[in-house]
A and B are shown apart, each in its own frame.
Chain A
Amino acid sequence: MRRASLAALVLLAALPLRALPLGAQTHVLIVSGLGGETRYSARFRALSLRLSGALHERFGIPDADIVWLGEDSARAAPRYAGQSTKANVERAVEGVAARAKAGAQIVFVLIGHGAGEGADSRLSIPGPDLTAADFERLLARFTAQRLAFVNLTSASGDMLGQLSGADRVVITATKTALERNESHFGEFFVDALAKDVADTDKDGRVSLFEAFRYAAAETKRHYETEGHLQSEHAQLDDDGDKQGTGEPTGRGGDGMLARRFFLDVGRYTARAALGDPRLAALYADRFALEDQLDALRRRKAQLTAEAYDDELERLLVALARKSREIRALEGRT
Chain B
Amino acid sequence: MKREAGGNVEAAGVPRTEWRRRAARGVTATSLACLLATPLFSAMGTRLAAQDLTDARELVRSGKYREGIAALSRIPRGDTTWLAAQRDLARTLALVGRYDQAEATARAAAAGPAGGAAMWNTLGEVLRERGKLAAAESAFVRAVLAHAPDSLTARLNLAILHHDAGERARAAREFDRFIDVYNANAGSLTSREFMAVAIACRYLGVDNPQLFKDALKAFDRAIALDGDDLDPRIALGELFLEKYSSNEAQPAFTGVLAANPSHPRALVGEARRLIFDAQPGADSLLARALEVNPDYVDGRVLRARGLMDLEDYVAAQREVDRALAVNPAARGALALAAALRFLGGDPRGYDAAKQRALALDAHNGEFFATMAEVAGRIRLYAAAADFAKQGVAADAKSWRSHALLGMNLLRLGRIAEGKQSLETAFAGDPYDLWTKNTLDLLDTFKNYDVISTAKFQLMIEKSESALLSVYLTDLLERAHALFSAKYAYTPPPPVRIEVYRSQADFSVRTVGLPEVGALGVSFGTTLAFDSPAAKDAGPFNWGSVVWHELAHTFTLGLTENRVPRWLSEGLSVHEEHLARPGWGAHVTVGFLDALGAGRLAPVSRMNDGFMRPAYPEQVQHSYYEASLFCDWVAKEWGEKALVAMLNEYKAGRTTEQAFQAVLGADPKALDKRFDTWLKQRFAGPLAALAVLAGDTAGLSREGLPAELLVSRANAAPRSFRLQMMAGEAAAGRGDTATAIALFERARSLFPEYAGADGPHGRLAHLYLARGERRKAADALTEIAVRNESDFGANVELSRLREQLGDTAKAAEALERALYINPFDIALHQHLADLYRATGEKAKVVRERRAVVALAPVDIAEAHYRLALAWHEAGDPKQARASVLRALEDAPNFVPAQELLLTIVEGRRP
Q: Which residues of A contact B (CB under 8 A)?
A: 197-203, 213-214, 217-218, 224, 227, 286, 289-290, 293, 297, 309, 312-313, 316-317, 319-321, 323-324, 327
Contacts and interface: CB of A to CB of B under 8 A. Distances in A.
Given A200-B890, A290-B891, A323-B892, 5 more contacts: A197-B857, A200-B857, A200-B859, A297-B888, A327-B894
Contacts of B889: 200-201
Contact of B897 (A214, A217, A319): A319
A323 B897 contact: yes
Nearest to B859: A200
Interface in B868-890: 880-881, 884, 887-890
B856 to A, nearest CB: 8
Contacts of A200: 857-861, 889-890
16 contacts: A197-B858, A200-B889, A202-B860, A202-B896, A203-B890, A217-B856, A227-B535, A293-B891, A309-B881, A312-B887, A316-B884, A316-B888, A316-B891, A323-B892, A323-B894, A327-B894
B536 to A, nearest CB: 10
A320 B857 contact: no
Contacts of B892: 201-203, 286, 319, 323
A293 B897 CA distance: 14
B890 A320 contact: no
Contact of B893 (A202, A289, A312, A317): A202
B901 interface: yes
Contacts of A227: 535
B894 A317 contact: no
A181 B294 CA distance: 65
A312 B888 contact: yes
CB-based closest 4 A-B pairs:
A202-B893, A320-B897, A202-B890, A201-B890
A201 B889 CA distance: 6
A202 B898 CA distance: 13
Among A198, A214, A319, A320, max chain B CB count under 10 A is at A320
A320 B901 contact: yes
B904 interface: yes
Contacts of A293: 891
B897 A213 contact: no
Contacts of B901: 317, 320-321, 324
A202 B894 contact: yes
Nearest to B881: A309
A103 to B, nearest CB: 25
B900 interface: yes
A158 B881 CA distance: 43
Given A313-B880, A317-B900, A198 B890 contact: no
Nearest to A216: B857
A312 B535 CA distance: 41
Interface residues of B, number: 25
Contacts of A197: 857-858
Contacts of B893: 201-202
A313 B823 CA distance: 32
A317 B904 contact: yes
B884 A319 contact: no
Contact of A313 (B859, B890, B904): B904
Nearest to A224: B823
A286 B856 CA distance: 28
Nearest to A201: B890
Among A213, A214, A227, A313, max chain B CB count under 10 A is at A313
A324 B897 CA distance: 9
A227 B503 CA distance: 14
A316 B894 contact: no
B894 A313 contact: no
Contact of B900 (A224, A286, A316): A316
Contacts of A199: 858
Contacts of B823: 224
Contacts of A289: 891
A198 B860 contact: no
A184 to B, nearest CB: 15
A320 B891 CA distance: 8
Given A198-B857, A316-B891, A319-B891, A309 B896 contact: no
A274 to B, nearest CB: 20
Contacts of B856: 217
A213 B900 contact: no
Interface string B545-558: 00000000000000
B154 to A, nearest CB: 61
A289 B889 CA distance: 14
Contacts of B860: 200-202
A217 B904 CA distance: 34
A197 B889 CA distance: 15
Interface in B115-133: none
Contacts of B900: 313, 316-317, 320
Nearest to A218: B857
A309 B904 CA distance: 13
Contacts of A201: 860, 889-893
A313 B898 contact: no
Nearest to B893: A202
Contacts of A317: 900-901, 904
A297 B891 CA distance: 12
A198 B894 CA distance: 16
B883 to A, nearest CB: 8
A309 B857 CA distance: 23
Interface string B828-865: 00000000000000000000000000001111110000
Nearest to B892: A203
A74 B434 CA distance: 66
Interface string B23-41: 0000000000000000000
Contact of B884 (A214, A218, A309): A309
A197 B858 CA distance: 7
A217 B854 CA distance: 11
A316 B897 contact: yes
Interface in B385-405: none
B828 to A, nearest CB: 14
A203 B887 CA distance: 11
A247 B778 CA distance: 47
Contacts of A324: 897, 901
A290 B859 CA distance: 19
Nearest to A309: B884
A203 B900 CA distance: 17
B902 to A, nearest CB: 10
A127 B888 CA distance: 50
Contacts of A297: 888
